[in-house]
Amino acid sequence: MTNRAAVVTGASTGIGYATVRRLAADGWQVWGGVRSDHDSSHIERIDGASSLRIDVTDDEQIETAFGEIADSRGYLGLDLLVVNAGVVVGGPLEYVTPSEWRRQFDVNVVGVASSIRCALPTLRLSNDPRIIIVGSINSRVGVPLLSPYAASKHALVGLSSSLRRELGPTGPRITMIEPGAVRTPLWDKAREASLQIDHDLPMAGRREYGDFVEKAVEHLTGSSSSGLSPDRVAVVIEKCVARRNPPLRRLVGVDARVAVALNAILSEKMFDRLIRRSRSGKY
């Protein structure tokens, strides 16, 4: 029986839920962060897992949750934090409101930073503390209609590298996971949002961005059916945690690796044209 303990935020579905299942199967004591009673019962059905009420936009709730972990674990501390909670805000930047931008960053950036901040004192008690930050291929490659999401994931790169250097060699080891397309409800919701954007765009917006929106719906439909399974990403997280010297960043999926390779080989202008072509059908 292991004494290792982990907290996974955004654990109700997708990558977070799959990670809770795999860690629990490996003998970890796991808390899955959720926002509702329904999701809580979903987590509680996993042997070795407990639910933890965490809305990452609620500072008081985050502090209370990690206070409960500290009380539960005592001197043993927390061995692993997987920060996975996230949302997708998309659309032509011209039509994305400031409140939508704030929501994107409140969840994907401030929520990540707040979770890490509250977990650090308990993580420091572990002999080998780890932090896994779930990013995206959009941490490296921005695409049309996803400016808010890509900007939030780029921000996590800066957060990760700055924090790693801030904590130094004696602090928790930090790995950023950057998957390509994954079959998760997150992207199903993004597809629904794209359809709504298409419906709400004024005539001028349709003329300017209609091709992008149409391709976005096609791409998101493909991601829902042919993307990586969440369990595949959870396996990579599991392997990174098991390594004595984990990677600083880890791409997951052929599409992610191909995109990064092309970005490195092609000039910026050529890569821009390639992305525009793939996302709108025209240069």
Catalytic positions: 149
The single-letter code of the amino acid at 181 is A
CB 190 within 8 A of CB 88: yes
Amino acid occupying residue 52: L
In angstroms, the Cα distances linking 232 to 41, 111, 122, 188, 220 are 24, 25, 29, 18, 19
User: 3-class DSSP state for residue 30?
Assistant: strand
**Residues 246, 130: Cα–Cα separation, whole Å:** 9
Angle of the 268-280 helix axis to the 203-226 helix axis, nearest 10: 90
Q: DSSP for 51-73, please give it.
A: EEE--TT-HHHHHHHHHHHHHHH
CB 40 within 8 A of CB 51: yes
